[in-house]
Amino acid sequence: MNPRIAPQAGTYSGRNLHGKVVNEMGKRVVGGGYAAGALLPNEDLLCQELQVSRTALREAIKVLAAKGLLEPRPRIGTRVRARDQWNLLDPDILAWRCATGADAEFLRHLMELREIIEPAAAALAASSRSAEQLALIASALQAMRTAKAIGQWVQADLDFHTAILRATNNPLLMPLAAIIGSALESLLGVTARSAGDFKRGLPDHQKVFEAIESGDAQGALHRMAGMLSDTRTLMKQAIL
């Protein structure tokens, strides 16, 4: 099974024309509409398809080039770069990948990213969080308890994990909150739906919170690692 993930709003999926052009072009490239190594259609055709001016199209291409997706070449055209040259941790690229269909390999890679970062982040949060940051984690946990639908649960779960990342107070880790947020929304949407009772993971989240609240860094690390192991199991069930 190849699960389809609901589109997530990226930085460039807003209402303005520039954002819409970047978003549409980004999804086409990341989703395989334009093959790696291929040249984009000529400007006139793209402008006609997207119903935009050449200026708007060229500005969008500049944005996508900065993300490593495209390579404009004078007198030749704009070529799609190989996937290994893309900035895969860019939140927009993650969002476009999710919007165009996340396959089993992609979900596995997201899960591995979480397992590398989040247990250590939980341990760091336990030793460095402020009272205000702890309250934000607690608020997200309460929202999980009271969620009436999967969508509400997924948003609250996302808020819970993001609040933990921010509670590390590490300036090099905190920017990862937005990146991991894209990954989490994809994974949580899959695993929540495969869990039957989408609140099945609530006790594990409670244990992570209690370890962070008590300042138990090792406990927080192990609780988070255990919870992610359960998530991996649910993910495998969802994509079989």
What is the distance between the alpha carbons of residues 117 and 164, in angstroms, rounded to a whole number? 11
For position 154, which CATH number holds? 1.20.120.530
* Predicted pLDDT at 13: 45
For position 52, which CATH number holds? 1.10.10.10
- Residue 63: inside a domain, yes or no? yes
Same structural domain for residues 149 and 52?
no
Entry pTM: 0.75
Domain boundaries, position 60: 17-85
Give the mean pLDDT per block of 10 residues along the chain (240 residues): 37 65 93 92 92 92 95 92 88 81 77 90 97 98 94 89 93 78 68 71 96 98 94 71
- Residue 2: inside a domain, yes or no? no
Helical H segments across the chain, by residue range: 17-30, 43-50, 54-66, 91-99, 104-128, 131-146, 150-166, 176-194, 202-213, 217-239
Q: How many structural domains is the chain composed of? A: 2
Same structural domain for residues 33 and 124?
no
The angle, 0 to 180 degrees and rounded to 10, between the axes of the packed helices 43-50 and 17-30 is 110
- Residue 164: inside a domain, yes or no? yes
Same structural domain for residues 180 and 230?
yes
* Predicted pLDDT at 38: 93
Same structural domain for residues 112 and 205?
yes
Same structural domain for residues 21 and 126?
no
Same structural domain for residues 65 and 163?
no
Residues 6+ apart with CB under 8 A from 132: none
* Predicted pLDDT at 147: 93
* Predicted pLDDT at 96: 86
What is the distance between the alpha carbons of residues 19 and 64, in angstroms, rounded to a whole number? 11
